[in-house]
A = this chain, B = another copy of it.
């Protein structure tokens, strides 16, 4: 049976047609090309012009790209007179018809532009890259936020949940995909192909990724899982596979998500992670009925920074703790002596350091926002340089309990409530 992706067809179309019609357009500026794209009637010309815009864009330098986005922000809004007219009709008669007319009149032309660009082969890939650029320019150019909003609105539609495909990543996966897994791993670096193999090939390891049909061989996000007989309290046990070992598959009772990496900076805020973990829980439950506990082993990237900048009121014992932390910095082995203090400080950080009504720590935000709870705090859990710098080696197990994630999520979303394990209460009382 012969399957052909539509993209392949467009590709050959673009190749062939470009020669025929567009010989001298190579010299056109990107603004001229964009204007041409918005004016084309023919479908084939639109597809070819869109490809030219994207190719042209890829050759711009940073300054020119910024110029391009500024042009988008300035010139691809709406016809003000038309908007006014549509509004007046709506204002006098707020019927659905008039609302629809207003809605169309007020739709920024950038939407149509992005849609037209996306009609050419491999455009989705290029547009995701384009937004990654845009995000870098946002800092100094806050007016471009509108352009970013347009990207977000369209990407949210294109990357709708129903289109995502979950794929197991293992030693039978193509090198083209595995190579990207190595490259995109953001939490615990994968050193080489042997290191990768240790993470995806053994029977007590699993790796899952989301893919989208329009981004061939490109994982969107992936999670690495270790299957064990108890909740792991240290990342080294997992990464070096010491003391865990392979056991009969019916003896596993815990699955630990020890690394979750977003692969596409250009898809920031188009969230897949919450679904990924929940779906993986489901898959693992059906493959290993004996697994009842699903936890993460997660870093606390903001702890040390918070400690350095927080005031005494926030944390009465702050001076003592800072002292401790300084000692630890000099002598990591002293962590064990002060384990309890560190856990206390971490717990206070997770519960009290906020951005709005939610935790300021990005990893905590992610998992608690998914409906997980704080289950266990482990000192000496990550003695790598990064681990020591970020959190003096401490890591958290967040618990995904399918029975309560939905309630947790709703309480977290509405009230900002954070669920945690009863056993952790003692840390609070002393605090």
**Measuring CB to CB, which residues of chain A are less than 8 angstroms from any residue of chain B?**
1-7, 9-10, 12-13, 17, 20-21, 41-45, 73-74, 77-78, 80, 83-84, 87, 90-91, 94-97, 99-100, 102-103, 106-108, 115, 118-119, 121, 123-124, 143, 145-147, 149-150, 154, 157-158, 160-168, 170-176, 178-179, 192-193, 197, 210, 213-214, 217, 274-275, 278-279, 282-283, 371, 403, 405-406, 409-410, 413-414
Quote the shortest CB–CB distance from A193 to chain B (angstroms): 5
Contacts of A20 in B (CB 8 A): 403
Bound-state Cα–Cα, A108 to B80, Å: 20
Contacts of A74 in B (CB 8 A): 96
- Shortest beta-carbon contacts, A-B, top 6: A96-B146, A9-B279, A2-B168, A4-B166, A172-B174, A6-B164
- 19 residue pairs from A and B, CB less than 8 Å apart: A1-B167, A1-B173, A4-B279, A9-B282, A21-B406, A41-B409, A42-B409, A77-B94, A77-B99, A87-B87, A99-B146, A100-B108, A100-B149, A106-B106, A115-B157, A118-B162, A119-B160, A172-B217, A175-B175
Bound-state Cα–Cα, A97 to B279, Å: 37
| Of A9, A73, A91, A278, most B-chain CB atoms within 10 Å | A9
Q: Which residue of B lies closest to A75 (CB)?
A: B96
| Of A6, A96, A275, most B-chain CB atoms within 10 Å | A96
> Are B97 and A143 in contact, with the CB atoms below 8 A?
yes
Q: Which residue of the partner chain, among B77, B146, B174, B282, contacts A12 with CB atoms under 8 Å?
A: B282
- Asked, given contacts A166-B9, A406-B44, whether A161 binds B119 with beta carbons under 8 Å apart, the answer is yes
> Are A96 and B147 in contact, with the CB atoms below 8 A?
yes
Q: Which residue of the partner chain, among B3, B10, B12, B168, contacts A165 with CB atoms under 8 Å?
A: B3
Contacts of A406 in B (CB 8 A): 17, 21, 42, 44-45
Q: Which residue of the partner chain, among B103, B115, B168, B210, contacts A106 with CB atoms under 8 Å?
A: B103
| Supplied contacts A4-B167, A77-B99, A83-B90, 12 more A-B pairs, CB within 8 Å | A3-B167, A6-B275, A21-B406, A41-B414, A43-B274, A44-B405, A77-B94, A99-B106, A99-B146, A100-B150, A119-B162, A157-B158
Quote the shortest CB–CB distance from A430 to chain B (angstroms): 34
Contacts of A371 in B (CB 8 A): 42
Contacts of A77 in B (CB 8 A): 94, 96, 99
Q: Which residue of the partner chain, among B13, B91, B162, contacts A124 with CB atoms under 8 Å?
A: B162
Contacts of A173 in B (CB 8 A): 1, 174-175
Quote the shortest CB–CB distance from A106 to chain B (angstroms): 5
Bound-state Cα–Cα, A175 to B174, Å: 6
- Asked, given contacts A77-B96, A213-B213, whether A172 binds B162 with beta carbons under 8 Å apart, the answer is no
Q: Which residue of B lies closest to A96 (CB)?
A: B146
Quote the shortest CB–CB distance from A118 to chain B (angstroms): 6
Contacts of A44 in B (CB 8 A): 278, 405-406, 409
Bound-state Cα–Cα, A119 to B156, Å: 12
Q: Which residue of the partner chain, among B12, B41, B121, B170, contacts A413 with CB atoms under 8 Å?
A: B41
Q: Which residue of the partner chain, among B84, B123, B217, contacts A162 with CB atoms under 8 Å?
A: B123
Contacts of A7 in B (CB 8 A): 162
Quote the shortest CB–CB distance from A215 to chain B (angstroms): 10
Contacts of A193 in B (CB 8 A): 175, 192-193
Q: Which residue of B lies closest to A174 (CB)?
A: B172
Contacts of A102 in B (CB 8 A): 83, 106
| Of A2, A118, A147, A175, most B-chain CB atoms within 10 Å | A175
Bound-state Cα–Cα, A17 to B213, Å: 28
